[in-house]
Amino acid sequence: MVEALESLWADLAADFYTCFIEKNRWKYLTSGLSNTLLITFFALLIGVVIGIVIAIVRSTYVKNYKEMKPGLGKKCLAVANWFCGVYLTVIRGTPVVVQLMIIYYCIFVSSNNGILIGAVSFGINSGAYVAEIFRSGIMSIDNGQFEAGRSLGFNYVQTLRYIVLPQAFKNVLPTLANEFIVLLKETSVAGYVAVRDLTKGGDIIRGATYQTFMPLLAVAAIYLALVMFFTRLVNILERRLRAGER
């Protein structure tokens, strides 16, 4: 019994050595992790910018279009709203891997910058989901807040910026954090277009060592640790934001 345990332990230690220590293979994981974080971070930035713009266009259209004075502004809003609708339909209606491959093979043909391509692809994808999150956030704010802002003399955009968006942001923060976590995990398909992210790093080790269990377990553990860390961070932020309102 003791011997069996000892030999199991020795096997595990040997596997661990092969997978991570030998030829410094652990570096595949660390560089992969840094690429995953970089892609996720920039994708989130792009996604939030796209998301806010689309959410503003779409909620403005719903709230204001009928009341607007006829003219160039009204036409622009209608066109912008139409484009946003098409974008949302296409992005949410196709798999992210396909979008990634289209961007890699068809659009960024001359670029080999995997991080850039990953960030742009996942950013464009995430933007569609973030847009809907922000839109529901804006629509959830009582119309009285808009009216109070407008009655003080703020124009529509100022009212959004100073009064509505800060409240909407607070309301959607948990959903937005969830989107970030989904995004973090979703970037694991970046390996499809030869980006060396965390998952790809584990896969390279698997290929080189013929070991399946250790590298994949390590990759899973790192994702899990990241997700738990960010969840905690968001909880703290959320509590801070709400502190004053009670």
Partner 1 sequence: MNDKILIHVEGLQKEFAGGEVKALQNIDADIHSGEVVVVIGPSGSGKSTFLRCLNLLEVPTAGSIYFNDVDITDKSVDINLHRRKMGMVFQHFNLFPHMTILGNMTLAPIKLLGKSKTEAEAKAMELLKRVGLADRANAYPSQLSGGQKQRIAIVRALCMEPEVMLFDEPTSALDPEMVGEVLEVMKELAHEGMTMVVVTHEMGFAREVGDRVIFMADGMIVEEGTPEEIFSTPKQQRTKEFLAKVL
Per rule CB under 8 A, is residue 69 in the interface with partner 1?
yes
Per rule CB under 8 A, is residue 64 in the interface with partner 1?
no
Cα–Cα distance measured from residue 141 to residue 165, given in angstroms and rounded to the nearest whole number = 9
Per rule CB under 8 A, is residue 246 in the interface with partner 1?
yes
E strand map for 40-165 = none
Cα–Cα distance measured from residue 86 to residue 234, given in angstroms and rounded to the nearest whole number = 32
Among 34, 81, 136, 167, binds partner 1 (CB under 8 A): 167
Per rule CB under 8 A, is residue 93 in the interface with partner 1?
no
- Give the contact letters, 8-47, x = binds to partner 1 (CB under 8 A), - = no: ----------------------------------------
CB-CB contact of 42 with 119 (8 Å): yes
Q: Which residue lies nearer to partner 1 by CB, 11 or 147?
A: 147
How many residues sit close enough to partner 1 to count as binding (CB under 8 A)? Answer: 22
Q: What DSSP line would sit under 147-164, residue for residue? A: HHHHHHT--HHHHIIIII
C-alpha angle 174-176-180 in degrees, rounded to nearest 5:
115
Q: Which residue lies nearer to partner 1 by CB, 170 or 185?
A: 170
Per rule CB under 8 A, is residue 151 in the interface with partner 1?
yes
Q: Which residue lies nearer to partner 1 by CB, 110 or 246?
A: 246
Nearest to 91 by CA among 54, 126, 46: 126
CB of 171 to partner 1, least distance (A): 10
Contacts of 46 by beta carbon, 8 Å cutoff, 6+ apart: 119, 120, 123, 124, 126, 127
Cα–Cα distance measured from residue 224 to residue 171, given in angstroms and rounded to the nearest whole number = 26
Among 94, 113, 140, 155, binds partner 1 (CB under 8 A): 155
Cα–Cα distance measured from residue 59 to residue 61, given in angstroms and rounded to the nearest whole number = 5
Contacts of 59 by beta carbon, 8 Å cutoff, 6+ apart: 135, 138, 139
CB of 57 to partner 1, least distance (A): 21
Binding to partner 1 (CB under 8 A): which residues in 206-225?
none
CB of 69 to partner 1, least distance (A): 5
Per rule CB under 8 A, is residue 174 in the interface with partner 1?
no
Contacts to partner 1 by CB under 8 A: 67, 69, 142, 144-145, 147-148, 150-155, 158, 162-163, 166-167, 170, 244-246
